[in-house]
Amino acid sequence: MKLQFQIEHAGPDAVLIRFGEQINTDLVPVIRAATKRLQKELQEEIRGLVPSYTTLMLCYDPRKNDFPGIQDKIQQHLANLNVSHAETGKLIEIPVWYHPDVGPDLQHVAEFHQISIDEVIRRHSDTIYQIFAIGFAPGFAYMGNVSNQLATPRLQTPRSHVAAGSVAIADQQTAVYPISTPGGWNILGRTTMKMFDRHSPKLCPVLPGDRVKFVSVSKADFLLAGGQSE
């Protein structure tokens, strides 16, 4: 099947490659494969690639290309793109201590769905999530889809401070706050995994297209791994 996409202007030195109009997990391996192909073929001519839910932004060097030129090259390199099973990305397990001490919205989410806190934990940790995009803050990975049986609207009033490592949900998305920042998502727990490390060559342990499973751990294991309960 021929790959369907549109190429749009996104500024004087960028284009947006649109693969669909609605969030769809089937697009994740497609966008991942397209990112890898264009990075390999155009690495000397581009400044960056930013994959997202339904699009891939490509920033190019205007000294080497103009819009018609980069458009032709994108069409050429993606014409026969082969999307393999490998493009589903690796599976990363993220340990989480789910508890009101570090998950102040556990009770709220439980009451919203009229279920127990244990059931909130089970529903959140039973799902394997797809990483759609990384943004908002360095290492903030937007993951989905949170099931309808757990999806909960954002807080009406965002917090001025959310601790780094906080695991949270908002509507049908889930994420880990990589740094301390304001935020309005429902916090369910906390992880010791660093989602952004400026001293690491990889910076972030996950990439768009990877999959994530949250694994419930005890307070003792959380503290042993260096977690802070305050």
Burial annotation 143-161 (CB, 10 A radius, 16+ → b, else e): bbbbeeebbbeebeeebee
Q: Domains of the chain (ranges plus CATH)?
A: 6-86 (3.30.1360.40), 89-224 (2.40.100.10)
Look up the pTM and report it.
0.84
Task: Indicate whether 42 pLDDT > 60.
Answer: yes
Task: List the single range of 26-40, 143-157, 169-183 with lowest mean pLDDT.
Answer: 26-40
Q: In the prediction, which pLDDT does 85 show?
A: 55
Contact call for residues 152 and 169 (beta carbons, < 8 A): yes
Across the range 153-172, mean pLDDT stands at 96
Q: In the prediction, which pLDDT does 202 show?
A: 81
Q: In the prediction, which pLDDT does 146 show?
A: 96
Q: In the prediction, which pLDDT does 86 show?
A: 54
Task: Indicate whether 21 pLDDT > 70.
Answer: yes
Task: Indicate whether 18 pLDDT > 60.
Answer: yes
Band (83; pLDDT cuts 50, 70, 90): confident
Band (95; pLDDT cuts 50, 70, 90): very high
Task: Indicate whether 199 pLDDT > 90.
Answer: no
Residue 15 corresponds to which tokens in the numbers above? 């284009």
* Residue 68 to residues 8, 14, 15, 72, 90, Cα–Cα distance (Å): 11, 12, 10, 6, 35
In single-letter form, the type of residue at position 70 comes to I
Contacts of 217 by beta carbon, 8 Å cutoff, 6+ apart: 95, 96, 97, 225
Contacts of 176 by beta carbon, 8 Å cutoff, 6+ apart: 94, 140, 141, 165, 166, 167, 168, 191, 193, 195
Across the range 124-147, mean pLDDT stands at 92
Burial of 78 (0-12, 13-18, 19+ CB in 10 A): buried
